[in-house]
Chains A and B, each alone.
Chain A
Amino acid sequence: MSFGPHLFLALLEGTVTAFVLALTALGLSLVFGVMRVVNVAHGEFFMLGAVLAWAVSSLIPASPALGFLLALIASPLAVGAVALLADRLVLRRLNYAPEATIVATIGLLYILQQLVLTFYGPYARPVTAPISFRVQFPWFGYSGYKLVVIAAAAALLAATWYLLMRTRIGLVMRATQYDRETAQAFGIPVERVYSGIFALGAMLAATAGVLIVPIQQAHYLMGLDPLLLSFITVIIGGLGSLRGTLVAAFVIGISDGVISVFFSPTLAKIIATLFVALVLVFRPSGLFGSARA
């Protein structure tokens, strides 16, 4: 394949990575932005989404499409419920103290990982894509499902942006993010907002997990890479910045796609991590973050 089509393929792969990463990282960024909680267990919500997608879709083996659609709804809801439970039982009791919640979410990471290992096993299991078609370009054919993933992730990102910027719930979330104490003085039940944000962040990660599982297979350790890439993304974009998270996801996702196709995935990770180091040295609050973040 000549350079042009090769680059086009790399950009397509990078775009899929970018959209899925944007969805995952947005959840992490929201949780930190509003709650000031660094959720180390965020990748496990991604993994849980994928594993539950396998469990739900295997309930209807005769109809993969129906099973997947059901998983796309049920899995994020179930993961959101797990996040709500974790918030009520652990984070709230720690009064959302930044240091304590880091340790607590590390614990949550291991609990979720080991529960999945115990009940699901160490296997990598495939989930059949709900649709199976190829888009034929002049130089190569490309998975139609991957284009569906791009469209679905874009739609979800737009919906999340609409929720945050155009609805009363979003306004309450943003007010809580800017000043927790004053928000309470204006009748905003901050702890309930925190619960909602933590569940929303987990559901975004879980949805990304469901969308990716027909491409990657479900495995109990699959949460590590999304966690690392999400942290890289939100640090580069600026913790808590919606716009920064999206821009950084595209920079990281597309560069990851291009470098992986032309060189190696390892080099892509090395360069992304180097970029984080440079951002931390020269612009510690991220490309779009404010100084307080």
Chain B
Amino acid sequence: MTLRLAGIDCFYGNVQVLRGISLEVAPGEVLCLLGRNGAGKTTLLKTMIGLIKPRAGCITLDGRELTRLPAYGFARLGIAYVPQGRRLFAELTVEENLTIGLMARGSGDEARERALALFPALRSRLTQISGTLSGGEQEMLAIARALCLEPKLLLLDEPTEGLMPSMIQAILAAVRELKSQGVAIVLVEQRVESALSVADRIAFLETGMLRAIVRPEAVHADPALVQHYVGVGPGRR
């Protein structure tokens, strides 16, 4: 399942936040979006899941036009979203959060089991109110909930934000596992080293424009790229 964006312009009111973005993500590929705060990374992810409608340009999934599809239709096509800050349904239990994930595509117990196999720590927490989980467990649940959709394309917005190192490694291991299963992944990540360790391609965003798409090796070879577009060196963890 290949997602293509062509000439995407997005606005908040009269303020243009994305300018002519064109890119594509192929199955089994991890595309990492890097950029400073306010560069448009989260807006771009929200456009890919239909929560923000572009004013110009088009989005296609395997050639099918999605640009005017209502937001709820994206999930039904197998595009799953893990928002920044997790955005769990905090007053629902872990089990109920997973059930919401299963509903969109009518996924059955197998999808739930696969998600829990990736994050076994959640098994003992199924009846717990999700808002009372630790930060790491909440991130696991946010990803597991998205995986219950059996996604072909997974959009992850800063999944390692605020997590301790062991938890970050667990999340990155899950990303690699999903990639090996053929899931296309778009990852927004502030930790440059984490991004480089899983990405197939890195897209640099600056003030709503796509400035460059490069391989991770190019970033290793030219650390000034990261310094220029993100404002930190690639050594940041």
Residues of A within 8 A of B (CB): 168, 171-172, 174-175, 178-179, 181-190
The answer on a CB contact under 8 Å between B51 and A175 is no
The answer on a CB contact under 8 Å between A182 and B104 is no
The answer on a CB contact under 8 Å between B83 and A187 is no
Cross-chain pairs A/B with CB under 8 angstroms, 11 sampled: A171-B96, A174-B92, A175-B96, A178-B91, A181-B51, A181-B83, A184-B71, A185-B75, A185-B81, A186-B100, A187-B149
The answer on a CB contact under 8 Å between B75 and A179 is no
The answer on a CB contact under 8 Å between B87 and A172 is no
The answer on a CB contact under 8 Å between A182 and B105 is no
| Residues of the B chain whose Cβ atoms lie less than 8 Å from the Cβ of A181 | 51, 83, 87
Contacts A171-B99, A187-B103 known; A182 to B76 CB distance under 8 Å?
no
Residues of B within 8 A of A (CB): 49-51, 70-76, 80-81, 83, 87, 89-92, 96, 99-101, 103-105, 145, 149
The answer on a CB contact under 8 Å between B83 and A172 is no
| Residues of the A chain whose Cβ atoms lie less than 8 Å from the Cβ of B104 | 186-188
The answer on a CB contact under 8 Å between A187 and B89 is no
In the bound complex, CA of A174 to CA of B105 (Å)? 19
The answer on a CB contact under 8 Å between B92 and A185 is no
Contacts A189-B70, A190-B72 known; A178 to B89 CB distance under 8 Å?
yes
The answer on a CB contact under 8 Å between B51 and A168 is no
The answer on a CB contact under 8 Å between B83 and A182 is yes
- Chain A: CB-nearest residue to B49: A185
| Residues of the B chain whose Cβ atoms lie less than 8 Å from the Cβ of A183 | 89, 100
In the bound complex, CA of A184 to CA of B103 (Å)? 12
| Residues of the A chain whose Cβ atoms lie less than 8 Å from the Cβ of B76 | 187
In the bound complex, CA of A188 to CA of B103 (Å)? 9
Known: A174-B91, A185-B80. 4 other contacts (CB 8 A): A171-B96, A184-B71, A186-B104, A187-B104
The answer on a CB contact under 8 Å between B75 and A187 is yes
Contacts A178-B90, A178-B91, A179-B87 known; A185 to B71 CB distance under 8 Å?
yes
- Chain A: CB-nearest residue to B101: A186
- Chain B: CB-nearest residue to A181: B51
In the bound complex, CA of A291 to CA of B74 (Å)? 32
In the bound complex, CA of A187 to CA of B89 (Å)? 14
In the bound complex, CA of A178 to CA of B131 (Å)? 11
In the bound complex, CA of A186 to CA of B90 (Å)? 15
In the bound complex, CA of A179 to CA of B91 (Å)? 10
| Residues of the A chain whose Cβ atoms lie less than 8 Å from the Cβ of B81 | 182, 185
| Residues of the B chain whose Cβ atoms lie less than 8 Å from the Cβ of A168 | 99, 103
Contacts A175-B92, A179-B87, A179-B89 known; A184 to B100 CB distance under 8 Å?
no
- Chain B: CB-nearest residue to A190: B72
The answer on a CB contact under 8 Å between A182 and B49 is no
Contacts A178-B89, A179-B89 known; A185 to B83 CB distance under 8 Å?
yes
The answer on a CB contact under 8 Å between A171 and B51 is no
In the bound complex, CA of A190 to CA of B100 (Å)? 13
In the bound complex, CA of A168 to CA of B70 (Å)? 22
In the bound complex, CA of A187 to CA of B73 (Å)? 6
- Chain B: CB-nearest residue to A191: B70
Query: Shortest CB–CB separation between residue A289 and chain B, in angstroms?
Result: 12
| Residues of the A chain whose Cβ atoms lie less than 8 Å from the Cβ of B74 | 185, 187
Query: Shortest CB–CB separation between residue A53 and chain B, in angstroms?
Result: 37
| Residues of the B chain whose Cβ atoms lie less than 8 Å from the Cβ of A184 | 50-51, 70-72
Most buried by B among A168, A172, A184, A190: A184
In the bound complex, CA of A190 to CA of B149 (Å)? 18
Contacts A171-B96, A174-B92 known; A182 to B72 CB distance under 8 Å?
no
The answer on a CB contact under 8 Å between B87 and A187 is no
Query: Shortest CB–CB separation between residue B97 and chain A, in angstroms?
Result: 8
| Residues of the A chain whose Cβ atoms lie less than 8 Å from the Cβ of B70 | 184, 189
The 10 A-B residue pairs with the shortest CB-CB distance, nearest first, are A187-B104, A187-B75, A184-B71, A185-B81, A182-B87, A178-B89, A189-B72, A175-B89, A187-B72, A187-B76
Query: Shortest CB–CB separation between residue B216 and chain A, in angstroms?
Result: 28
| Residues of the B chain whose Cβ atoms lie less than 8 Å from the Cβ of A190 | 72
- Chain B: CB-nearest residue to A182: B87
| Residues of the A chain whose Cβ atoms lie less than 8 Å from the Cβ of B91 | 174, 178
| Residues of the A chain whose Cβ atoms lie less than 8 Å from the Cβ of B105 | 187
Query: Shortest CB–CB separation between residue A290 and chain B, in angstroms?
Result: 8
In the bound complex, CA of A87 to CA of B83 (Å)? 30
| Residues of the A chain whose Cβ atoms lie less than 8 Å from the Cβ of B149 | 186-187
Partner of A188, one of B51, B72, B96: B72
The answer on a CB contact under 8 Å between B51 and A172 is no
In the bound complex, CA of A178 to CA of B129 (Å)? 13
Partner of A185, one of B51, B90, B99, B103: B51
In the bound complex, CA of A184 to CA of B75 (Å)? 8
Query: Shortest CB–CB separation between residue A237 and chain B, in angstroms?
Result: 16
| Residues of the A chain whose Cβ atoms lie less than 8 Å from the Cβ of B101 | 186
The answer on a CB contact under 8 Å between B51 and A186 is no
| Residues of the B chain whose Cβ atoms lie less than 8 Å from the Cβ of A182 | 81, 83, 87, 89
